[in-house]
Chain A
Amino acid sequence: MKGGGTVGRYTAGSRANHWLTAICLILLALSGMAFFHPSLFFLTDLFGGGVWTRIIHPWIGVVLMLSFLGLFLRFWHHNLWRREDSRWMASINDVINNREERLPEVGRYNAGQKLVFWLMSLAVLLMFVSGLVLWDEYFAAYFTVDQKRLAGVLHAAGAVLFCFILIVHVYAAFWVKGTLRAMTRGSVTGGWAWKHHRKWLREEIRTPAKGTGD
């Protein structure tokens, strides 16, 4: 914890990696939603029309996959499930009602964040694989039409899952004030850490070398 009362949470690399992933996801969501429902087809104009959207969307998916892989490798070990995570989950009502004082002490990530992480990882994998099966321009010959139909359903289901996670993720960042700066400036205030991730704050204080986060 620095003298200014802040704690380093994410390195510049992590932040860039996160935002690349985020941009990809937003673009994928916009372009994907365009195909998902006719009422959103107008979104293809953001990408230069339907054909360009169809061409770009899978390539963004490839970038996302690589980018997300980076995030995964950086953070997977912080997201291993611990006993207190289950207790935290059991008290989800308190989380929603801003009664954090009733929750167990949280490490670097709380159970909700971990859930987002794993669901996100699962969704990315699902979207990537099903997307590949649907990517006719290059892979039409490798899959049967029934496999493609299944892929279509899974891709759509995955997309919905993605949207839910994204809403939770973004809303959480907006709702829990002081969170956003972790991904913009790389650091959080001590108070934020004390309130939401006390266990992590303690560890950070004990091993200050790590204080820039990762």
Chain B
Amino acid sequence: MSVTPDLLPATAEIFVLIMTCIILVVDTFTPEKYRASSYILTQGTLLGALLITIGLYTEQSIVTFHNTFILDPLASMLKGIIYIVVFAVLIYSKHFLQQHKMFKGEYFVLMLASVLGMMVMVSAYSFVTLYLGLELLSLSLYAMIAMQDQAKSAPEAAMKYFVLGAMASGLLLYGMSMIYGATGTLHLAEIQTNILDKFETHSLLLSFGLVFIIVAVAFKLGAVPFHMWVPDVYHGAPTAVTIFIGSAPKIAAFAMLFRLLVDGLESLHTSWQDILIILAILSMAVGNIIAIAQTNIKRMLAYSTVAHVGFILLGILSVSQSGYSASMFYTITYTIMAVGGFGMVLLLSHKGFDAERISDFKGLSTRAPWFAVMMMIFMFSMAGVPPFLGFWAKLLVLKAVVVEADMVWLAAIAVFFSIIGIFYYLRIIKFMFFDKAEDSEHLTITQGMAVTMSINGVVVLLLGLYPGILLTYCVQAITHVIQ
């Protein structure tokens, strides 16, 4: 047994880790007026990590660190998306951070730490690394939420998230311990083979552990009834943090769901399929219905997230290659749209005013027509209006449900609720284009923000026209894992 593991596949993680430490040190010795150096370093780290990940891309699965780490196309792809999304998030939030006195080194260190956590989760091939990645991500997030000075609601949001999150990770560990007891190993690959070897019949202990694990993953994703933290945290957190929580961690959560249920426990799919059906239906129903009554845009987007999570679960529960890739496609596209949607909230807010009410979007088409069109693209896409991106994502998931899982009724329920959902997206469009503006303050939109937002909108539009580009990669990545 070689003691020294192969470090090469983990170069990106090592790079981010080192850079985080460097930023921490550099920031300490940088005077206040050069604070932007930390920001630039952070962005540089993300770009560097992106280059490394692309450089390391292989068609094979490389397992290292004694079966605790895996680098496969799925991991590479999800990591790449995470960097890009976080990169955009930082650009959107820069202005907000400066105005709310959050533009400091610790924030960037925590952000990079959570990115590292996500990377670890995405590449995790053992319960231990998965759990540690999850905690690295969560702990950084708790702290980032509470960081804002003055705001009354931020610590409350952080506290709620913390207590419920800790409880969920307790449940996750409990489930993991059961699986460990039944299979005698913590490594996902061995779990899969051990289950197939040891248990001819259905094992109650395994299913039992599975329930706890699903509950924890459902919490992380925000599926009903484990979604309660989502609206409060999205609402209470500083918008710059909300955009972060609402985007990249969803990808990590998807990776976690996939690694656990498909990579590790696919042989138990008869057990988890039923549970996911319940969660998916509840999520789509509760998310879409409660979103209608919201007046705060962050809350509304939070409930819309819950509804979208229902769709992500639909893809997974169809237990098929096309379902998994549809789910992956959905997660990625949702993240891109969500970044745009929350970015718009940041774009509208200015000194002493957070554009958090939906009515703040009134008359946007006259104040900033270009951005109103961008927002319209995001909303149409989230609503699933063809031929926007969100439509393809929904279509693929539904197709998997109908064709692979043969559950027409479930697809019908999904379509029904997403039609209800169109209602509240449409309301924003109505506000933007048909109502008079209440706020006449001139919008200060930085150039970086404007460019990123435009790129973001165009990406959604283009991917809507050519969904095949992204989908092909998703299918490839999933196919590779399944084999």
Q: Do A and B come from one complex?
A: no
